[in-house]
Structure 1
């Protein structure tokens, strides 16, 4: 299936669409390996966040501690995503890495237009528990809520 034929082609940012297509192209067992690989690619938070996790937002819906922050660039109307998750939480780190690679640096509008069902589109229902999938959905919801809150504050 080409990108143009994919049901996600018109609704997802290209980098995120590419990740989803990678997941859909492999078996359930290989999906877990891909998620583990992505977990290793999640960058550590910038130095200014290293000792200030308490200033980041905790995504409490995740089974393991996950912290989130966004750096906004109002000149270009883009947001950089910052995640912090322990190395011993590869599933959570993998989900964070998917969102980081798929959304970080995009415009506010592109982030807000991202479908809420990204976790479902990865085809992980047989390989990952529903609770963990809800954690990823919660991460995306928090990212979008932060963008909306920032826009409301910037416009007032």
Structure 2
């Protein structure tokens, strides 16, 4: 069961995703993560070729991200190869769970929220460090946008 203190710090959509993962059996969590890999929206043309995107070098897989603010809400863009489905799934979770939130809401997300989802049972420590770095970079961009 996820930590209630962590849950209360999450924006509603991300909270729902965390609770879904936490309540699912281990085998279903991996399947759900793979499903989220299909939910990463296509990049707008302005970001094709990683123009103005920040690379997260700590990731084993090539991972690029960019944020924009529109009407005080964040728009998130990720580029992750399909050959990295678990990391791409994490990008899908961030996109669905944090897209459209305020910079402040993103900054309040606990750095290790993905542990509450049971992902540590599915993913290697090296990939978890990469996920931590992704969230850190995302927060840096949100901070700059705020």
| Residues paired across the two proteins, number | 146
CA offset at residue 35 of structure 1?
A: 0.5
CA offset at residue 7 of structure 1?
A: 4.1
Q: Which residue of 2 aligns with 1:112?
A: 107
Paired residue for 1:19, among 17, 21, 45?
A: 17
TM-score (norm 1): 0.86
In 2: Cα distance, 1:77 partner to 1:54 partner: 23
Q: Which residue of 2 aligns with 1:70?
A: 67
Q: Which residue of 2 aligns with 1:125?
A: 120
CA offset at residue 149 of structure 1?
A: 2.3
Gaps of 5+ in 1: 152-156
CA offset at residue 64 of structure 1?
A: 0.3
In 2: Cα distance, 1:138 partner to 1:147 partner: 14
CA offset at residue 125 of structure 1?
A: 1.5
Q: Which residue of 2 aligns with 1:59?
A: 56
Report the secondary structure of 1:48's partner residue.
Answer: helix
Aligned pairs (5 A) from 1:3-152: 6-50=4-48, 52-73=49-70, 76-151=71-146
**Are 1:111 and 1:144, in contact at CA under 8 Å, matched by a contact in 2?**
yes
Q: Which residue of 2 aligns with 1:154?
A: none
**Are 2:6 and 2:113, in contact at CA under 8 Å, matched by a contact in 1?**
no
For the structure 1 residues 61 and 35, does the alpha-carbon distance in structure 2 shift closer, same or farther, using more than 3 Å as the test?
same
**Are 1:120 and 1:133, in contact at CA under 8 Å, matched by a contact in 2?**
no
Moved over 4 A (4+): none
State which structure, 1 or 2, has the greater radius of gyration over its C-alpha atoms.
1
Gaps of 5+ in 2: none
TM-score (norm 2): 0.92
